[in-house]
Amino acid sequence: LEKWLKNLQNIMKKRTIFIGDIHGCYLEFKQLLAKCAVTPEDRVIVLGDMINKGPDSRGVVEYIREHRFEALMGNHEYGFIKYLKGHLRDENRFSTFSSVKEQLGIHWKEWLTYFEELPLFIEDRDFMAVHGGLVPDLHPRDVPAKILTRIRTWDGKGENLHNPKDPAWYELYRGQKLVVFGHWAQRGLVVENRVVGLDTGCVYGGKLSAFVLPEGKIVQIDAKKAYISIK
């Protein structure tokens, strides 16, 4: 990563700050932005899973919209859209989603539009940002949402996206662009050649993490507490 960063530092003008899975951890989110000394000149990209499980999903998404941060579709936003439309089959997730809907109040339909418009990936000259990850040798525009938002491991077919016997998707990545992703709290911080993973399980009592370009610096805030237990 270091060689790549050195090259980038010469050409990248705008500071870009990527933020891992927030899951309603509003206080930690605000602290992390302060620690990164974010200004209106910066580009901020939230990697998805902004909502659900944690204490203040509404606070998080309102802050993101007010400050015109960019945000990606995570599997929790994707599931929440289905829930709001009455299409969700996984009843285990109803209780936390109903609390998010309650927080959003009477304007939930307007929020539905916001969530539906979230991009599945953001591609820049210098990087690719995605919530789950990439399928080897495919551009994300050619990969379905349910894979882009949920992939952890790759079996060659996309049947099982989380199998400890299969390699992590990023071990198979051969592209030239830096990929920044979230979604894998059990794996935690990943900093390897051309991949940076930022889900460090804040909502489970871990940390909330940011990656700052062009410096290539990781910035973290400890969770106040474990808001929910990890499965």
Token pair of 178 as six digits: 């830096």
Is 183 a binding residue for Mn ion by CB under 5 A? The answer is yes
| Helix (H/G/I), strand (E/B), else coil: 43 | strand
Residue 151 beta carbon to Mn ion: minimum distance, rounded to whole angstroms: 10
Residue 154 vs 214, nearer CB to Mn ion: 154
Total number of residues that touch Mn ion (CB under 5 A) = 4
Residue 75 vs 103, nearer CB to Mn ion: 75
Residue 59 vs 74, nearer CB to Mn ion: 74
Residue 183 vs 207, nearer CB to Mn ion: 183
* Residues in CB range of 171: below 8 A, 6 or more apart: none
Please state whether 82 falls in left (phi above 0), alpha (psi between -120 and 50) or beta: alpha
* Residues in CB range of 212: below 8 A, 6 or more apart: 15, 16, 17, 18, 36, 218, 219
Residue 100 beta carbon to Mn ion: minimum distance, rounded to whole angstroms: 15
Residue 48 vs 214, nearer CB to Mn ion: 48
Residue 158 beta carbon to Mn ion: minimum distance, rounded to whole angstroms: 16
Q: Which one of residues 29, 36, 49, 207 is an interface residue with Mn ion (CB under 5 A)?
A: 49
Residue 127 beta carbon to Mn ion: minimum distance, rounded to whole angstroms: 19
Q: Are 212 and 17 in contact (CB under 8 A)?
A: yes
C-alpha span between 79 and 94 (Å, rounded):
10
Is 75 a binding residue for Mn ion by CB under 5 A? The answer is yes
Kindly indicate which of the ranges 1-9, 48-56, 121-129, 212-220 contains the residues binding Mn ion, using the contact rule CB under 5 A. Answer: 48-56
C-alpha span between 168 and 217 (Å, rounded):
23
Which residues of the chain form contacts with Mn ion (CB under 5 A)? 49, 74-75, 183
